[in-house]
C-alpha cells in the first residue's frame, strides 16, 4: 500500500518509485502520463483487512486516506452481484486533497477546445476497473480476487475500458513488471488535443483515438441538427467525426517511428457507450428519463452488477449532450462510500444525484427518494426486450422488488411512438446496433437542441447592440433574464418549430428554471456574453482615433484609471479569457503607451517602473 497520504501537492514526481523535489518542469518524468491518468492502482482482497490497496503507480502519487478507502471499496463488486470471471465497470469519487497539483492549472488549454462532455473533471476522479474473480485452490479463500484500476480526471470510458482489456489480463499473469512497462509506454503518449487523431501504442497494439472538439461557437447550440452520418461510427476510417467536427480528407502526418507500428485499432469514440444496448429495457420510458435528467432529479439505478449500474448511469447523463450535466453522479456506489450518510439522510431532501447501486439494501435506505429505476439481467432476443413498467414508489418492497421505474412523476411530453417503431423494426431486420444507437442518440440530441434553442435565442436578445458600445464609456449591461418574458416568446419561437413532439412544454420550462442545469447553463452563457461585451469594448477603444482629443479635458485620475482598465483587459485577453484578435491587442498597447507618455514624469515612473 502506498505509504504517502494526506494533504499537500499531489505529485512531486521523479522516476518510478522515487520522489523528486520541486514543481513540474516542462519535460518532467511522468508529465505525459499525467495528461491521461493520475495513477494506476491494484486492489486485492486481504483476509484480515478486506479490500486493500496493494500497489499505486507511479508510487509517489499521493492519495488521501479517504480516497484510498473509496478506491478500495468501489473496485470490488458488491457481494450480492456474484460476479465470476472478468468484469469491467467504472466509478466516480470526490477529490479530497487540500491542494491541487500543478497539472490542474493546465486544464484550461484542453477544456477550452473540448466539448463539455469530454472536459477534465476539476474536483472528481474517475475510476475504471477491471475485476477478476476466479477459483484458485492455492488461495486460502479458494478464489483469486483482484482489480486493476485506472484513475483519471478524463471521462474517456471507452478508451480506458479498451486499454484495460489489453493490459489487465497480462498484468494478472505477469504482475508488477508488466504494469511498470505499460506506465512507461503511456508516458510516451502525446497529450490529448481536441480534434486531433492520436496513435497510442501499448503492449504491441496501437489504439487510434480522436477526442471531439467544440465548434466555432464554443458550447452554443446550433439550429441545424447534426447529420445522421456524423453520428454513425466508421470502423474502417482513420478520422472519426465528432458531433461538431467537419470530416477531414487527408490522414494526419505520422512520425517515422509510427510507420513501423502495426495497423491501429480504431476506437470510434473515446467516451460514447452503446446507448441502445444500455437503454434496451427502458426504451418506452426514454423520454421520461430524459426529462428527469434535464430537471436534475434525484435518481437511483438498482442493477444486478456494477457493469450494468455504471453503464446505465453514464448513459443517462449522456442523454443531455451537448448540454452540460451539472449535477453529481456516481456510476457505482456502495454502503461503504464516504458520502453514504450524506446521500441517505432523511433530515433533508435527497440531493441532485444519480446513483448506481447493486445492493438491494438501498431499496429500503433510499425509499424516500422520488425516483428509483430497477433493471434486471438483459434478455437478448429478436424482439424488443421486456420493458420495465412505471410503478408507484409505494409498491417498493425490500429485496424482492421487481424491475420497474418507481416514480410519481408524469412526463410533460408525449411519447415518440414513431421512434419506438423504427427501433423495433430495426431489431426485427437485424439492423446493426451501431445504427440503432445512432438513431437513439440522434433523437435525444434533437430533443435537447429543440428545448435549448429557444433559451439561446432569448438569451442572445439580452445582449446590448454593438452600436451602443462606445470607446470612452462603460459598456452597457446585459439585460436580466425574465422568465415570464421568455415563456411568452415561446408562442412564436418555441420548440414546436424544430420538434414534432406535443405536450406541456411550458410546464417543463417552468420546472427547468428551478433545476441545477438552468443555473449552470445561465451562468456559463452570461459569462460568455460578458466576455464578448468586454472584448467588443476593448476593440472599440483600439479602433478609436481620437484618444488625444479625449485626454484634453480629463483629469490625471481619469487618465490613470483608463491605463489601469486597459491593462486589465489586455491581461484577460492575453490569458484567452476575451476573444480579441492579436492586431487589436497591439493597438491597445500603443494606446497605453500614448496615454502614459502624456502624463507627468512622476506618474510615468509609477505606471512604468524600471
* Three state DSSP letters for 363-419: HHHCCCCCEEEECCCCCCCCCCCCCCEEECHHHCCCCCCCCEEEECCCCCECCCHHH
- Which parts of the chain register pLDDT below 50? 1-27, 98-99, 102, 216-258
Residues 39 and 162 in one domain: yes
Residues 425 and 286 in one domain: yes
Given this model, what pLDDT does residue 454 score? 95
Residues 301 and 160 in one domain: no
Instruction: Give the end of a domain, one of 156, 190, 224.
Output: 190
Residue 261 resides in a domain = no
Residues 181 and 42 in one domain: yes
Residue 213 resides in a domain = no
Instruction: Give the end of a domain, one of 190, 205, 234.
Output: 190
Residue 414 resides in a domain = yes
Residues 142 and 47 in one domain: yes
Which of these, 1, 153, 45, 69, lies nearest to 335 by C-alpha position? 69
- DSSP lists the bridge partners of residue 269 as none
Residues 185 and 36 in one domain: yes
Instruction: Give the end of a domain, one of 162, 190, 218.
Output: 190
Given this model, what pLDDT does residue 27 score? 47
Query: pTM for this structure?
Result: 0.83
Residue 239 resides in a domain = no
Residue 491 resides in a domain = no
Question: Any idea what the CATH number is for the domain that residue 373 is in?
Answer: 3.40.50
- Residues in the chain, total: 610
Residues 282 and 184 in one domain: no
Split into its structural domains, the chain has a count of: 3
Given this model, what pLDDT does residue 384 score? 64
Q: Which domain holds residue 588?
A: 545-607
Given this model, what pLDDT does residue 236 score? 26
Farthest CA pair distance, the chain = 93
Residue 484 resides in a domain = no
Question: Any idea what the CATH number is for the domain that residue 66 is in?
Answer: 3.30.450.200
Amino acid at each position: 500500500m502506498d505509504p504517502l497520504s494526506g494533504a499537500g501537492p499531489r505529485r512531486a514526481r521523479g522516476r518510478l518509485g522515487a520522489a523528486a523535489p520541486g514543481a513540474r518542469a516542462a519535460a518532467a518524468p511522468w508529465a505525459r502520463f499525467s495528461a491521461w491518468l493520475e495513477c494506476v492502482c491494484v486492489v486485492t482482497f486481504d483476509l484480515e483487512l478486506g479490500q486493500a490497496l496493494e500497489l499505486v503507480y507511479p508510487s509517489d502519487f499521493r492519495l488521501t486516506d479517504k480516497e484510498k478507502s473509496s478506491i478500495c471499496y468501489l473496485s470490488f463488486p458488491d457481494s450480492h452481484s456474484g460476479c465470476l470471471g472478468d468484469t469491467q465497470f467504472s466509478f466516480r469519487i470526490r477529490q479530497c486533497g487540500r491542494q491541487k497539483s500543478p497539472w490542474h492549472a493546465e486544464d484550461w488549454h484542453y477544456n477550452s477546445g473540448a466539448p463539455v462532455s469530454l472536459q477534465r473533471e476539476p474536483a472528481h476522479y474517475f475510476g475504471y476497473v477491471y475485476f477478476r474473480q476466479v477459483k484458485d485452490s492455492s488461495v486460502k479463500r479458494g478464489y483469486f480476487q483482484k482489480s486493476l484500476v485506472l484513475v483519471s480526471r478524463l471521462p474517456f470510458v471507452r478508451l480506458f475500458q479498451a486499454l484495460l482489456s489489453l493490459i489487465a489480463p497480462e498484468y494478472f499473469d505477469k504482475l508488477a513488471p508488466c504494469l511498470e512497462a505499460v506506465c512507461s509506454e503511456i508516458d510516451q503518449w502525446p497529450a490529448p488535443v481536441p480534434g486531433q487523431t492520436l496513435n497510442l501504442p501499448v503492449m504491441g497494439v496501437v489504439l487510434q483515438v480522436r477526442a471531439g472538439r467544440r465548434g466555432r461557437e464554443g458550447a452554443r447550440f446550433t439550429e441545424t441538427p447534426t447529420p445522421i452520418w456524423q453520428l454513425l461510427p466508421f470502423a474502417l476510417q482513420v478520422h472519426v467525426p465528432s458531433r461538431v467536427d467537419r470530416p477531414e480528407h487527408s490522414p494526419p502526418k505520422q512520425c517515422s517511428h509510427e510507420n513501423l507500428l502495426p495497423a491501429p485499432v480504431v476506437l470510434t469514440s473515446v467516451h460514447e457507450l452503446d446507448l441502445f444496448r444500455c437503454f434496451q429495457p427502458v426504451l418506452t420510458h426514454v423520454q421520461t428519463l430524459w426529462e428527469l435528467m434535464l430537471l436534475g432529479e434525484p435518481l437511483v439505478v438498482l442493477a444486478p452488477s456494477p457493469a450494468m449500474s455504471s453503464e446505465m448511469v453514464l448513459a443517462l447523463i449522456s442523454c443531455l449532450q451537448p448540454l452540460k450535466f451539472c449535477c453529481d453522479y456516481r456510476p457505482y456506489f456502495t454502503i461503504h462510500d464516504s458520502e453514504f450518510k450524506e446521500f441517505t439522510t432523511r433530515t433533508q431532501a435527497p440531493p441532485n444525484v444519480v446513483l448506481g447501486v447493486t445492493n438491494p439494501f438501498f431499496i429500503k435506505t433510499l425509499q424516500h427518494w422520488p425516483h428509483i429505476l430497477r433493471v434486471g439481467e438483459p434478455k437478448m432476443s429478436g424482439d424488443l426486450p421486456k420493458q420495465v413498467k412505471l410503478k408507484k414508489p409505494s409498491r417498493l418492497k425490500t429485496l424482492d422488488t421487481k424491475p420497474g421505474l418507481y416514480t410519481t412523476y408524469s412526463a410533460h411530453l408525449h411519447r415518440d411512438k414513431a421512434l419506438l417503431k423504427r427501433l423495433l423494426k430495426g431489431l426485427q431486420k437485424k439492423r446493426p446496433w451501431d445504427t440503432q444507437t445512432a438513431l437513439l442518440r440522434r433523437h435525444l440530441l434533437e430533443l435537447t437542441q429543440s428545448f435549448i434553442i429557444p433559451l439561446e435565442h432569448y438569451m442572445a436578445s439580452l445582449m446590448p447592440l454593438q452600436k451602443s458600445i462606445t470607446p470612452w464609456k462603460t459598456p452597457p449591461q446585459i439585460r436580466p433574464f425574465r422568465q415570464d418574458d421568455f415563456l411568452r416568446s415561446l408562442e412564436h419561437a418555441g420548440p414546436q418549430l424544430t420538434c414534432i413532439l406535443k405536450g406541456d412544454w411550458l410546464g417543463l420550462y417552468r420546472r427547468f428554471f428551478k433545476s441545477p442545469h438552468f443555473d449552470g447553463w445561465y451562468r456559463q452563457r452570461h459569462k460568455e456574453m460578458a466576455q464578448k461585451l468586454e472584448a467588443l469594448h476593448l476593440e472599440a477603444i483600439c479602433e478609436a482615433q481620437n484618444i488625444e482629443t479625449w485626454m484634453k479635458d480629463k483629469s490625471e485620475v481619469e487618465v490613470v484609471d483608463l491605463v489601469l482598465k486597459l491593462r486589465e483587459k489586455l491581461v484577460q485577453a492575453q490569458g484567452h479569457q476575451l476573444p480579441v484578435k492579436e492586431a487589436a491587442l497591439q493597438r491597445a498597447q500603443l494606446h497605453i503607451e500614448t496615454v502614459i507618455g502624456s502624463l507627468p514624469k512622476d506618474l510615468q515612473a509609477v505606471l512604468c517602473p524600471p
